[in-house]
Structure 1
Amino acid sequence: MAQDILSQEEVDALFKGLAGGDIDTEAEAPEAQGGIRKYDLANQDRIVRGRMPTLEVINERFARLWRVSLFNFLRRSAEISVGPVRLLKYSEFIRNLVVPSNINMVQIKPLRGTALFIFDPRLIFAVVDNYFGGDGRFHARIEGREFTPLEQRIIRRLLDLVFKDFKAAWTPVTNLAPELIRSEVNPQFVNIATPTEVVITTGFDVELESGSGTFHICIPYGMVEPIRDQLTAGTTADRSEV
């Protein structure tokens, strides 16, 4: 068997190369084989894929309840279309909000964390116009102003209806109690999650006789972790639908 033994001349040349820096002594990390790459198992993008059938049922029930409440409040019919349940980064959601928006920071007991219940300005002005018997011919300027004291009173009554119907919609699955923490008009002042944290959002498009707008619910994914299995289990978790 051949022996891999260096001659004296080869040894001298090797030491000379090391001393002169001609030979790289840094060991290169081996490349991943077979296309394998590192993956962060804690990354929420990986964890939260998949539908939440029970949450979709809850959203539909909430829309039905809220439609009745809006009729009793305004004495006018409202059509509500429920958008899909979306999972996206918090920064993506918040940057699409217009100013001013009525952004309500909400605690949902017993869950830990803060959710957002948001009325866009078009919806606020449509509700106010309908409340006072308007027909939508006169449009208030939206950009660059805060809501008036009168508009804020209407918003608070509207939010009370949302809280009541939200609680009722969730009751067949679990008991939740929403409570207002505070309200803002500028998304820059609302930090309920880190920019990369995943949130669950749903939009409810409301069509009134004199205008339309959207109501959004935004809940950090980590907030619903204790009840995640109930939300992904399908309609069997919803006792009222069986």
Structure 2
Amino acid sequence: MAEQVLGQEEVDLLLKSLGKEEEVEEKSLGYKKFDIDDLEHISLGTIAGLEIILEKWSRLSRAKLSSLVVAINNVYKAETSLIRFEDLIAKLPVPSCINTFNITGLKGTHFLILDPRMIYSIVSVIFGGSAKPYRIEGKEFTKLELKIIKKVVDLLLSAFQESWNSILPGEVMYLETEVNPALIAPMNSKKEMFIQAHINIEIDGIEYPIFLAIQNSSLEPVVDRLRNVSEASEYVDYDSIIKNLIKNLPVSLSVTIDGGNFTVKDILEWEVGDTITLKTSANRPVKVNIEGVPKMYGVLGRSNSKKAVKILKLLDNKESQ
């Protein structure tokens, strides 16, 4: 039997008709194609425990960051959302400040993303400059800036560790800092969903965003425990938060050597090089004052070519009055 060969017109017609059967079927059945990757593994609205962790993280972050940058006015949680990995990294500038970390017991790699402008502002404020944001296009971080980034990241992850452990066990482990978004692109599928927590940090009246991104599917082993947590059962240790804030307040220290009574005639006769003899003996301890209030006794001396005072006794409240 002779083989039938299609002509060019018949081939063109066949190619044009490819896929039209599926379109007709979709229209007749009234449905559209659905990408299963669009499904949320976990619905944010049902995870009360995660919201508690993130709220606590924002509060603790303020207390910890204030120990590094006194000019921080506020840190507050803005929103929590679901985002694809490709959208997470699509709008990041170069350089970026993308910090990766793991949580023991959970699979996957998670991200702490800082606004590069915030880093430059923190460096400026630490050295007495303005918090005004800088242009960052094409600018690379210096060694000093990378060290400060590591300090900021350590403080933020430490705050997240405490918040996480208030509900779940697990250790938060810092991995690395990356400045080029293209280098983290191969780490996850483009359609991998992440839970993104957005907090704002205010430095001298200027706000900068911080993003914490947790792989959505990684929470599946602990999602039931997170759902069963209520705000009423969550204890917030405000005492510790207040104590941490107080511990970082600057105070003045002064040392009272002694005094004496002199006549105006004596004072008018004083000249450079004269020795003024005080009442107390040279071996008598001096008072050490905190904010003008006597709090301890000490003895004067030297340390590394500088004047110093060695503490001999701490005063109780009655002795301080």
Q: Which residue of 1 aligns with 2:88?
A: 93
The one-letter amino acid of 1:80's match is V
CA shift in 2, pair 1:199/1:35, >3 Å: same
In the alignment, is residue 226 of structure 1 matched against residue 224 of structure 2? no
CA distance in structure 2 between the aligned counterparts of 1:169 and 1:180, rounded to whole angstroms: 16
How many residue pairs were aligned? 213
Distance 1:142 1:34 in 2: 52
Say whether 1:79 aligns with 2:74.
yes
Equivalent positions of 1:1-242 (< 5 A) are 31=25, 35=30, 43-51=37-45, 52-136=47-131, 140-191=134-185, 192-209=187-204, 211-235=206-230, 239-240=234-235
| 1:66-91 Cα distance to aligned partner (Å, 9 max, x none) | 11111122223331121221112111
Cα pair distance change 1:201/1:43, threshold 3 Å? same
The residue type equivalent to 1:146 in the other structure is: E
Distance of 1:142 and 1:82 partners within structure 2: 25
Q: Post-superposition shift, 1:98?
A: 1.7
Is the 1:54–1:237 Cα contact (8 Å) retained in structure 2? Answer: no
Letter in 2 for 1:155: I
CA shift at 1:95, angstroms?
0.5
Question: Residues of 1 paired with 2:37 and 2:94: CA distance?
Answer: 31
* Aligned-partner Cα distance in 2 for 1:152–1:198: 29
CA displacement, residues 17-71 of structure 1 (integer Å, 9 cap, x when unaligned): xxxxxxxxxxx8995786467766x545254334132212111111111111111
Residue 228 (structure 1) shift: 1.6
Alpha-carbon distance in 2 for matches of 1:199, 1:237:
27
Structure 1: gaps spanning 5 or more residues: 1-27
Q: Distance in 2 between matches of 1:189 and 1:161?
A: 25
Identify the structure with the greater strand proportion: 2
Relative contact order, higher structure (CA 8 A, sep 6+): 1
Partner amino acid for 1:190? I
Q: Deviations over 1:104-138 (max 9, x none)?
A: 1111212111001111111111211222222235x
Q: Distance in 1 between matches of 2:38 and 2:170?
A: 24
**Aligned-residue offset at 1:214:** 1.4
Residues 148, 164 of structure 1: alpha-carbon distance in 2 compared, 3 angstrom cutoff: same
TM-score when normalising by structure 2? 0.59
Seen in structure 2, the aligned counterparts of structure 1 residues 234 and 174 have a Cα distance that, compared at 3 Å, is: closer
Distance between the aligned counterparts of 2:170 and 2:161, measured in 1?
6
Aligned residue in 1 for 2:14: none
Q: Is the 1:63–1:80 contact (alpha carbons within 8 Å) kept by the matching residues of 2? A: yes
**Poorly superposed stretches of 4+, deviation over 6 Å:** none
Distance 1:31 1:162, change over 3 A: same
Give the Cα separation in 2 of the matches to 1:122 and 1:132: 16
Contact 1:199 1:219 in 2 (8 A): yes
Counterpart contact for 1:116–1:217, Cα < 8 Å: yes
Separation in 2, partners of 1:148, 1:50: 38
